[in-house]
Structure 1
């Protein structure tokens, strides 16, 4: 992209009304959990945006095991010398929790790491773990904590938010199929009570109503630029958890993709650019996996996964161990005169993963809060994930930066990742035990 084109796009992005309108339409589409009518409406909105960019979109359906949330109950019973305490607390079922009704002692597993899980002796109990990770260490994903608890013999799992605000967290337990034991999310405040009661020998009753059945989800795929054999894939997920509007996760991200597609339509691209909105990221990267069967990863020069961009003022680029991805992020920062915060450690918990594990270099575009690196999800995965948390300036700015990055990658030969090197990096980061517990360690790596 030449300097004149970049300046023209920057001027266009300065006061572009499209991103805010698109985000508004998206959150007004209704709950967007995988396979729901709201998620289908979201796919159609993405298709309309891609059509406006001249990307010739198609909406592609794919089969899923659709999970539907029912009611959940959590009650505590504690015997004391001065009497018995019986209390009920609000709780929400976690996606792919099976239905169940469990009565068992409550055990505090701390952050839910392997060491804490082993020390807690969870067999036959209800495991309690919080959403945070140990300070200074690797981020420990919810699926890992649940997997460790199940392996340790827990009868059920309680996931407590680590930040105050009476916000119960949600999040899937498995990639696309039911977990082994019932699980719920509870607020920080409830978690504090539960930890105290666990130390007093509390008994828990945990009941979950939920169903898992055959369903259908949808991806939207468009094409820009020349019809070359290889190209760059830009992807963002349009689904969201059904307890909130999903404005941040990933409404801002898919808005960034849709807006960047409009900007890229005015760029003389050197190779094919696929633009995609995918479903069912929140329930197991199911849309991205289906996309990897439709767009041959061998043809994908690089994947730009827009999951988390548009939320805060600065852009954050997770380069997943690729030197070429890191260099592209650094070039973007220098040329645009904008800070781009770069992290290199790979992880498997977003839509780049079905491509990265097959050797495609990846960049995940996220956001950097003004206060520094965000530990955990902030408002995401709670009922507070609403449009008022978003800022149209961030959407416009990150869409422009995404377009500049993609145009740059479309004109370069990007070395593929060696999957043996990728495996070694994950092992060095201590990710393997957790990925195995979560069920996401690739079969071919065993």
Structure 2
């Protein structure tokens, strides 16, 4: 049973952070005063610091640190005068989860070739495996290069007797360019597994190693996912390990990469090596809670506008630069903090519609908290969702990319509110990244609820684009997404003000949001990615 504690919890947490955090906070406060000239932005950032400091240990679901973060958010919602919207009169909705993970002790990967010593591959640094309930504890199979794993090439390689019982090794296609027939062709060829090699020339989201963790989390009651797991054993190889794996094959990594950069034909060939693996797989069942609260409406009390962000992060993971805490400051502690700040600003004064505040769990594991909520809603009559994620205030807010902007009447409201602030609204110009499917607005849309999400936009070749791409290379899902990273607080202030105005407009609008007949919310996800 959860109990709401006093705000003294916040004081004790702050003291635990130590002198270094206090100094960092002081420097940030001065920067915010210079850039934003705004007490609201300062208060929002202080809330972010509470959620993203090292004592929160990255807020991995199923940990004591996540539970502390959830309790902190519930306390803030309660202090703002919101009402509980979870289960049994609380602010919490427990979500049942199942975690598969690799224990480093007892997990080994080796490349074997005749006449030479085996080559060890380091888990999460050079190689990774997609875990599922059917993942074997050990396997051993020859490696066969199969180009881009396109269906036609796989069929030819299978006819030549190369693939049956082997691990097909292929360059991972650039985002949006995967062959939709690839998985079926791999299964038809009776391969033992597929190993995707990261292509370092990927322009939109370049691959980065090490990976944070090996774990895979699913809804514990989702038999379609947890019961069957991946249909095909799937591995991932760091590009930097490919030259060693190719030794003795008469082909080089640079030769194959040169072909990949122009998408020239890449030959299929036996690599004259074998991959052997022993996996120590652990299983854990646990719950982690969504935090849910309501600001009751004044007239349309039976209609709810959801405002959402995700509370979870990656927790502790593979160290990068000596730091193993994946704080998730912008992704997404800052925008849970913005929900708290909106609640505090309202002083329990409602809009026409009720507003449902949602801090979801397990978003990073596959939108699991929002999926569970949309399957088991704790309130009826949700008319729309405004989701806060994928927001990076790194440069002035002049362009706001809005996901699903043309799918519902929410898009017109977004454009009107943004125009009053001299912000241009654009549809997603990089749909191949699949961002529409990668955040908590998507489960709402799948259940028929209009929704929008936002990205700070930019023009190609500008300083804004450079900062955005750098963030995805350096900070995204890394310990470097912390409280010390570069932030444009004027841009943060401007987005926060836009969000407050948008919530007020949608919550007070006499007309409820509706889908448009020509909505195009069917952008394809990227096959084969994990």
Normalization by structure 2: what TM-score? 0.65
2: CA distance, partners of 1:223 / 1:354: 20
How far did residue 206 of structure 1 move? 3.3
SS at match of 2:420: helix
CA 1:330–1:207 in 2, change beyond 3 Å: closer, same or farther?
A: farther
User: Structure 1 unaligned runs (5+)?
Assistant: 1-9, 439-446
1:357 equivalenced with 2:454 (yes/no): no
1: CA distance, partners of 2:303 / 2:309: 20
1:4 counterpart residue number: none
1:403 equivalenced with 2:500 (yes/no): yes
CA contact (8 A) 2:52 2:58 kept: no
How big is each residue's C-alpha offset from its partner over 1:349-379, in whole Å with a ceiling of 9 and x where there is no partner? 3222222112111102234462177599544
How far did residue 276 of structure 1 move? 0.8
2: CA distance, partners of 1:268 / 1:331: 22
2: CA distance, partners of 1:310 / 1:119: 45
Moved more, 215-224 or 239-248: 239-248
How far did residue 150 of structure 1 move? 6.6
Bigger Rg over Cα: 2
1:3 counterpart residue number: none
Cα-Cα RMSD: 4.2
How big is each residue's C-alpha offset from its partner over 1:30-81, in whole Å with a ceiling of 9 and x where there is no partner? 24333232322221222233234322341221322233442243322345xx
2: CA distance, partners of 1:262 / 1:131: 46
How big is each residue's C-alpha offset from its partner over 1:236-295, in whole Å with a ceiling of 9 and x where there is no partner? 111122322233433344333333433455876221111111111222322112222453
Q: State how many pairs are aligned.
A: 416
How far did residue 207 of structure 1 move? 3.6
Which residues in structure 2 correspond to 1:2-401 (within 5 Å)? Answer: 12=38, 15-28=41-54, 29-57=56-84, 58-71=91-104, 72-79=107-114, 84=116, 86-92=118-124, 96-97=131-132, 98=135, 100-107=137-144, 124-128=165-169, 133-134=174-175, 137=176, 153-156=190-193, 158=195, 161=198, 162=200, 163=206, 166-168=209-211, 175-176=218-219, 177-178=225-226, 179-180=229-230, 183=234, 186-190=237-241, 194=245, 196=252, 200-226=271-297, 228-242=301-315, 243=317, 244-265=326-347, 269-295=351-377, 299-313=381-395, 314=397, 315-319=400-404, 321-343=406-428, 347-368=436-457, 370-371=464-465, 378=473, 379-382=475-478, 384-389=480-485, 391=487, 393=489, 395-401=492-498
CA 1:381–1:364 in 2, change beyond 3 Å: closer, same or farther?
A: same
SS at match of 1:211: strand
2: CA distance, partners of 1:112 / 1:341: 34
Among 416, 419, 424, the residue aligned to 2:514 = 416
CA contact (8 A) 1:160 1:187 kept: yes
User: Structure 2 unaligned runs (5+)?
Assistant: 1-35, 85-90, 201-205, 220-224, 247-251, 254-268, 318-325, 459-463
2: CA distance, partners of 1:63 / 1:146: 30
2: CA distance, partners of 1:305 / 1:342: 16
SS at match of 1:317: strand
